[in-house]
Amino acid sequence: MKVNSTIYKGIEYVQVNALPPDQKEKLLKTINHDLFIKILVDEKLIGNCLLFKDYEIWFDNIYKPLPLTKESDPKSKSSIESPAIQVERIKKS
């Protein structure tokens, strides 16, 4: 799920430290670190921030969780045969 942005003096951004742990971990491994910015808020420098538009692009193209497929759904009634069963069927043919 996308996090909400923060807006300060017209700059819409997210703090990497405020992201859910799985997003933070993947983002730090996959995004260009040149995109990180620092913002001066009330004479305090806040680092490890991304413009919200960069975060959205990353989220939609890199992070976006895959939709649950029938094969990966544990509630799905369809079963996947193990390789041993497949080999046994080939032998009987």
Q: Which residue has the tokens 């046994």?
A: 88
What's the pLDDT score for residue 66? 66
Q: Which amino acid is at 21?
A: P
What's the pLDDT score for residue 79? 47
Distance separating alpha carbons of residues 14 and 66, to the nearest angstrom? 23
Most confident of 45-49, 78-82, 87-91: 45-49
Mean pLDDT confidence for 75-88: 48
What's the pLDDT score for residue 64? 83
Per residue in 20-69, pLDDT (tens digit) is 999 999 999 999 999 999 999 999 999 999 999 999 999 999 998 666 66
pLDDT over threshold 90, residue 75: no
What's the pLDDT score for residue 92? 54
Max Cα–Cα distance, the chain, nearest Å? 77
